[in-house]
Structure 1
Amino acid sequence: MESTDLGWRALLRRQWPLACALLFFLGSEVLGEPSTWWQVPGSVVVCALAVLAPRRPFDAALAAATALAASSVVLLVADAAPAVPVVSGLVISETAAAMATTAIVVRQASPVRAAVAVALLVAVSAATLWVRPDYWAEQWPGYEPPVWQHAIGGGVLLVLSVGTGLYFRARDRERATAVRAEVVAAQHAERMALARELHDVVAHYVTGIVVHAQAAQAVPAAAGEVLPIIVHSGNEALTAMRRLVGTLRGAEVEAPAPAVAGDLADDVRGVVEGSGQPVRLHVDLPVAVPPSLGRSVLRLVQESLTNTRKHAGGVSRVDVSVAVVDGQVRVVVADDGRERRTAPVGGSGGYGLVGMRERVELLGGEFEAGPRAGGGWEVRASLPVGG
């Protein structure tokens, strides 16, 4: 469960409340106790590690424990007592950062690594009580809080931190389970949709076989001309049926054999014109595309344009390219819009990309989708025309 791929923007959106709170604690310590500058570098490092912890929680916990230990040694050598300690020898910023790091490592790391990290943080935090100069002895001679008060306070804070981490860990697990179930349902629905389309193609070929067979019966002299057509239609029907069976079984499907296609270019133009978006279209189809494959190409273009309309704002141009290159139908849909921060009108299940990827992979192709370097979104698909 440990997250190592959280982007910086996502990290900022997730961690900014913690960063603001830690900055406030740091500022109050510096302004309230000007003589505690020796503790500031260590506190800054521990707070920074707490903010960055979701990227590498276990490493952040180990680094935070090391920073606390190093800061304690610096204070001991300089004989400088820190600001008012909250628990053990930790000041409020260090305490808050240690609690946040503990919650994050419990939430994201494996149980063994989380236990090791928490144990190390607790041990180092407890050791600061004896390593660091005593604040109370300097400010209030004769007063020394009993150890049991530190133990109770530290225990309460530890329970809060671990409990928070376990709560969010359970929420993450439930959310992941729900997402997996929804993805499987979306994939199943896409398989069924593709199966229906393939069935329509099979029915078309079978109908052609029946019609030509009846013609051969009615006019025996025409059998020589009709039989090759029947053989061709039968082969195409078998190819589409194999793909239908593979779809229903969820198996890898090999690319179909070449087949006679309809006017795919006109169909793509119709989809583009019906989208109502500023589209610049490029179509280059020097070879025939099988009808069943053409259906999938149209669905890819249509779904991509739908996603652009729903999720992109400020679109000034959408580039749509459908071309056959080296035996591959290459579909590219790219826009120059920006991500909308509000939900699209009518809502969105969020599984359009999943459905497109599933469709392309079932046809033996490759699919990519993601943000463009210069802004906007791009969808790329490559489908084999024939095997």
Structure 2
Amino acid sequence: MESTQLGWRALLRRQWPLACALLLLVGIGFLGEGGWWHIPGAVVVCALAVLAPRRPFDAVLTAATAVGASSVVLLVAGVAPVTPMIGGLVVAEVAALMAIVAVVVRQAPPARAVAGVVLVVAVTALAAVVRPEYRSPHWPDDYSGPGFWPQSVFGGVLLALSLGTGLYFRARDRERATAVRAEVAAAQHTERMALARELHDVIAHYVTGMVVHAQAAQAVPAAAGEALPIIVRSGNEALAEMRRLVGTLRDTEADAPTASSDLADDVRGVVERSGQPVRLHVDLPAPVPPSLGRSVLRLVQESLTNARKHAEGASTVDVSVSVSDGAVHVLVADDGRARKAAPVGGSGGYGLVGMRERVELLGGRFSAGARAGGGWEVRAILPVTR
């Protein structure tokens, strides 16, 4: 049997208005002049209506059984229910069955929803046949109560109201589930893109440096003694960054700092580890938020990586990081020429895309292109938010 796994506290918060209304209708049943034989069955059906969201189809089966048993008891006792509403069912029973029909139509699979509605209609017809007819002493002698067709029409209206309510909420639930799935898919896509940018900007930066220094050591064996320590350091830093990314995915380092408090030192460290001829200009009169500093470091890293991979014959790379007019200005420019051969490690074409996405996510402006006098430059303006 299906279950929505709705907890008892959640069920109470959701169903207490219905419980109060049904309790009031059951209490009204005690006010009649014909006895209380119908009360136990009405109480059971009302309780099932309140619990129906947990197991809708089971609630239909049990409620139908309760109505049938109550009808047999009234038949054996020869007592008509007090002020029946439709087919011998009292007001509380009708309201409870309407609620159960709405819930089963909303939550149950289509086949069970149809079976449940048919069962409720059948048990209502059975009650009309089995239960003794009610006659009020206040009625005129020539009046025998509502006829078959008025009760049938009224019952059909109430059934249609229950079905419409269930179908409406079923459609709303389906729309809500679709929206949630779309939001989850969008969040997953955003996380994948962020991870792709991190892998490309950080890991590729270190790996490219390792390959370049290894090639230099191959070309000039005498330089191996200088290149090997740089390769080892770059490899250790790449492993550290990879562990940090894995820890972030596992939520074990979600609160780990992304940059130190001194962005200028961080930028100098990135420049020194790049092993390139860099002219650095840093003008940071005020501290930069760590989250923004991390993005600045990634932009500088990726720009230097692109310069190493694509700028052939570059004699110098200018790196400038400054703060003015409430924004961090980043400029990385080289004087090299585009390589005719494929760069070290190939080029996936995602570097500029990742940098542009990173800047735009922070509400900044990004541009990259060839310089008028030769070479390539990358510019980014990132607003400072505190």
TM-score (norm 2): 0.59
* Structure 2 contact 104–166 (Cα < 8 Å) conserved: yes
User: Structure 1 counterpart of 2:88, which letter?
Assistant: G
Within 1, Cα distance between the matches of 2:170 and 2:121? 20
What is the aligned-residue RMSD (CA, Å)?
Answer: 3.0
* Structure 1 contact 39–71 (Cα < 8 Å) conserved: yes
* Structure 2 contact 247–253 (Cα < 8 Å) conserved: no
The one-character-per-residue Cα deviations of 1:73-107 (angstroms, maximum 9, x if unpaired) are 11111111111111111110000001000111111
* Structure 1 contact 209–233 (Cα < 8 Å) conserved: yes
User: Structure 2 counterpart of 1:9, which letter?
Assistant: R
Instruction: Please name the residue that 1:248 is paired with.
Output: none
Instruction: Please name the residue that 2:176 is paired with.
Output: 175
User: Structure 2 counterpart of 1:154, which letter?
Assistant: G
Counting only pairs closer than 5 Å after superposition, residues 236-385 of structure 1 correspond to structure 2 as 260-261=239-240, 290-296=243-249, 301-302=254-255
SS at match of 1:51: helix
* TM-fit CA distance, 1:299: 7.5
Q: Which has the larger radius of gyration?
A: 2
Instruction: Please name the residue that 2:100 is paired with.
Output: 101
* TM-fit CA distance, 1:293: 2.3
Instruction: Please name the residue that 1:307 is paired with.
Output: none
SS at match of 1:143: coil
Instruction: Please name the residue that 2:275 is paired with.
Output: none
* Structure 1 contact 201–292 (Cα < 8 Å) conserved: no
* TM-fit CA distance, 1:296: 4.0
Within 2, Cα distance between the matches of 1:85 and 1:168? 29
Alignment length, in residue pairs?
Answer: 254
SS at match of 2:162: helix
Within 1, Cα distance between the matches of 2:168 and 2:248? 47
User: Structure 2 counterpart of 1:12, which letter?
Assistant: L
Q: Note closer, same or farther for the CA distance 1:300–1:171 as it changes in structure 2 (3 Å cut).
A: farther
* TM-fit CA distance, 1:197: 1.5
Q: Note closer, same or farther for the CA distance 1:190–1:150 as it changes in structure 2 (3 Å cut).
A: same
User: Structure 2 counterpart of 1:86, which letter?
Assistant: M
* TM-fit CA distance, 1:195: 1.3
Within 1, Cα distance between the matches of 2:105 and 2:132? 31
Instruction: Please name the residue that 1:269 is paired with.
Output: none
* Structure 2 contact 87–125 (Cα < 8 Å) conserved: yes
User: Structure 2 counterpart of 1:261, which letter?
Assistant: A
SS at match of 1:46: helix
TM-score (norm 1): 0.59
Q: Note closer, same or farther for the CA distance 1:24–1:160 as it changes in structure 2 (3 Å cut).
A: same
Within 1, Cα distance between the matches of 2:8 and 2:154? 34
Residues 292-301 or 91-100, more deviating: 292-301
SS at match of 2:132: coil
User: Structure 2 counterpart of 1:50, which letter?
Assistant: A
* TM-fit CA distance, 1:164: 0.9
Whether 1:216 aligns to 2:212 is: no
* Structure 1 contact 83–91 (Cα < 8 Å) conserved: yes
* Structure 1 contact 201–291 (Cα < 8 Å) conserved: no
* Structure 1 contact 3–108 (Cα < 8 Å) conserved: no
* TM-fit CA distance, 1:220: 2.7
* TM-fit CA distance, 1:6: 1.1
Within 2, Cα distance between the matches of 1:149 and 1:214? 95
The one-character-per-residue Cα deviations of 1:246-266 (angstroms, maximum 9, x if unpaired) are xxxxxxxxxxxxx7437xxxx
Task: Calculate percent identity across the aligned residue pairs.
Answer: 66
Q: Note closer, same or farther for the CA distance 1:117–1:298 as it changes in structure 2 (3 Å cut).
A: closer
Residues 48-57 or 201-210, more deviating: 201-210
Whether 1:126 aligns to 2:79 is: no
The one-character-per-residue Cα deviations of 1:220-258 (angstroms, maximum 9, x if unpaired) are 324267459759968x99xxxxxxxxxxxxxxxxxxxxx
* Structure 1 contact 84–135 (Cα < 8 Å) conserved: yes
* TM-fit CA distance, 1:14: 1.4
* Structure 2 contact 244–253 (Cα < 8 Å) conserved: no
* TM-fit CA distance, 1:36: 2.5
Within 2, Cα distance between the matches of 1:195 and 1:152? 64
Instruction: Please name the residue that 1:271 is paired with.
Output: none
Q: Note closer, same or farther for the CA distance 1:199–1:8 as it changes in structure 2 (3 Å cut).
A: same
Counting only pairs closer than 5 Å after superposition, residues 107-146 of structure 1 correspond to structure 2 as 107-136=106-135, 140=139, 142-144=142-144, 145-146=146-147
Within 1, Cα distance between the matches of 2:99 and 2:106? 11
Whether 1:48 aligns to 2:47 is: yes
Q: Note closer, same or farther for the CA distance 1:221–1:299 as it changes in structure 2 (3 Å cut).
A: same
Within 1, Cα distance between the matches of 2:72 and 2:137? 18
User: Structure 2 counterpart of 1:11, which letter?
Assistant: L
Q: Note closer, same or farther for the CA distance 1:201–1:20 as it changes in structure 2 (3 Å cut).
A: same
User: Structure 1 counterpart of 2:240, which letter?
Assistant: A
SS at match of 1:302: coil
Instruction: Please name the residue that 1:195 is paired with.
Output: 196
* Structure 1 contact 107–169 (Cα < 8 Å) conserved: yes
User: Structure 2 counterpart of 1:293, which letter?
Assistant: V
Give 5+ residue unaligned stretches, structure 1.
238-258, 263-288, 304-387
Instruction: Please name the residue that 2:22 is paired with.
Output: 22
Give 5+ residue unaligned stretches, structure 2.
257-386
Q: Note closer, same or farther for the CA distance 1:159–1:227 as it changes in structure 2 (3 Å cut).
A: same
* Structure 2 contact 88–127 (Cα < 8 Å) conserved: yes
User: Structure 2 counterpart of 1:39, which letter?
Assistant: H
Q: Note closer, same or farther for the CA distance 1:34–1:191 as it changes in structure 2 (3 Å cut).
A: farther
Within 2, Cα distance between the matches of 1:260 and 1:230? 12
SS at match of 1:37: coil
Within 2, Cα distance between the matches of 1:5 and 1:60? 15
Q: Note closer, same or farther for the CA distance 1:298–1:23 as it changes in structure 2 (3 Å cut).
A: closer
User: Structure 1 counterpart of 2:246, which letter?
Assistant: L
* TM-fit CA distance, 1:35: 4.1
The one-character-per-residue Cα deviations of 1:34-89 (angstroms, maximum 9, x if unpaired) are 64321111000000000110111011011111100100111111111111111111
